[in-house]
Structure 1
């Protein structure tokens, strides 16, 4: 069982969490101006790298809060976790 460190609750078993997709995806400035194809790209198309990746996670069976994590997709190792109001590690 893998432990995930919730920024509020501390380390908990992975079954308490749900994956929320790629982190730091900016919302379109004017969504009404997007074509159907552009909107589909915003909603459905995400990066899928092998290696370090910033993701959103939800502590569904705990505090029910969302947070971000940097995880290696090849090893599944969490490198860091941080609240949504904190900057991505390694950025100013």
Structure 2
């Protein structure tokens, strides 16, 4: 059984979670083309390596961020959304490792 640590509920069976996609910059909806908006919504980069992803704990409807190695499928870290964006806003030195 694979376990994921939910920042709100602690360690839970992976079957309780839903993957929400890669975290990526959102284009400006007022100025982007239909193609750019469609790509943002439906196209994933499929990076081999460490990525930040949206995850949902379905029973509690709690969204959070996971740092995962896509090569080994290892979940390296989970964090609340506010913590992720606080670290990211801090700049290169403050970005999640």
Distance 1:26 1:84 in 2: 15
Work out which structure has the larger RCO, using CA pairs closer than 8 Å and 6 or more positions apart in sequence. 1
Superposed, which structure 2 residues align to 1:1-92 within 5 Å? 1-23=1-23, 25-29=24-28, 31-61=29-59, 63-87=60-84, 91-92=93-94
CA distance, structure 2, for counterparts of residue 59 and residue 28 of structure 1: 27
- Structure 2 unpaired stretches of 5+: none
RMSD between superposed Cα atoms in Å: 1.9
SS at 1:39 equivalent = helix
Q: Is the 8 A contact 2:27 2:36 kept in 1?
A: no
Which of 38-47 and 50-59 deviates more?
38-47
- 1:20-43 Cα deviation digits (max 9, x unpaired): 0002x22223x1322221222222
Of Structure 1 and Structure 2, which has the larger fraction of its residues in helix?
Answer: 2
Normalization by structure 1: what TM-score? 0.84
Q: TM-score, normalised by structure 2?
A: 0.80
Q: How many pairs were matched up?
A: 89
